[in-house]
Amino acid sequence: MDRIEADYIIVGGGSAGAVLAYRLSADPAIRVILLEAGTQAKGVKTIVPAAGSLYLRGSSADWQYMGEPDPTLDGRRICWSGGKLLGGSSTINGMVYFRGSRADYDHWSIRGAWVGHSRKSSLIFKNQNGLVGRLHRRTHGLVRLASRRRERCRRCRSAGVKAATNEELRR
C-alpha cells in the first residue's frame, strides 16, 4: 500500500467537510484528503431540489440512525436520517432551514460554547444569510432566504398532499 501524505484529513464529505476541503485545497501548497463513507450520488435524485428527501431516505445513502424506544410514543423508535454520500445530510434533508432559538444560544453560551451571546450568534447568521424582504434588515450573506406568506404555504402543503397520493409517488 502506498503511503499518502496530507496536511489535512477531513472526515465526512457533507456540506461543512466538502466546503472546508474545497477552501483548503485552493492553496496548491496544501494537500487535503477528504474521506466519505458513502458514494457520490448521481442522477436526478440529487440534482432536483428537495428530491433527496423523497428518494434517498431509507436507502444505502442514509445512515438510518434509530433513536431509543420512547415511552411517550408507546415505545416507538424514531428514525433519524443522516446522509452517507457526498453532500451529507444536506443532500437528503428536503432543503428545510430553521434558525435556532435565542434561549438555546444563551444556554450554550453560559456553558462555554463558542456561539457567544444571542446577539453575537444572530450576527453570525445574518452574515451567512441574505434575507429578502422585510424579514430582517442589513443582511448580505451568500445564502438567499425569503419569507413566504401563510396562504402560499397552505396552498403548497395542500398541493403536496395531493401529489403524494399520485400513483407515481407510491412506487
**pLDDT single digits (tens) 10-35:** 999 988 999 999 999 999 999 999 99
**Checking DSSP bridges between strand 32-35 and strand 8-11, what pairing results, if any?**
parallel
Burial of 44: CB neighbours in 10 Å, binned 0-12, 13-18, 19+: exposed
Burial of 84: CB neighbours in 10 Å, binned 0-12, 13-18, 19+: buried
Over its C-alpha atoms, the chain yields an Rg (Å, rounded) of 20
Alpha-carbon dihedral 149, 155, 158, 159, rounded to 10 degrees: -120
**What does the block give as the cell for 71?**
415511552
Specify the amino acid at residue 1.
Answer: M
Is the Cα dihedral 52, 12, 58, 148 positive or negative?
negative
**pLDDT band per the 50, 70, 90 thresholds, residue 171:** very low
The predicted pLDDT at position 89 comes to 87
- pTM comes to 0.55
Checking phi first, is residue 133 left (phi over 0); if not, alpha (psi -120 to 50) or beta? left
Q: Where are the domains of the chain?
A: 102-171
Res. 116: pLDDT tops 70: no
Res. 130: pLDDT tops 70: no
What's the rounded Cα separation, in Å, for the pair 94 and 13? 18
Span 77-105, pLDDT tens digits:
998 888 898 888 888 887 666 666 777 77
Specify the amino acid at residue 24.
Answer: L
Span 29-83, pLDDT tens digits:
999 999 999 887 777 666 666 777 777 888 888 999 999 999 999 999 998 888 8
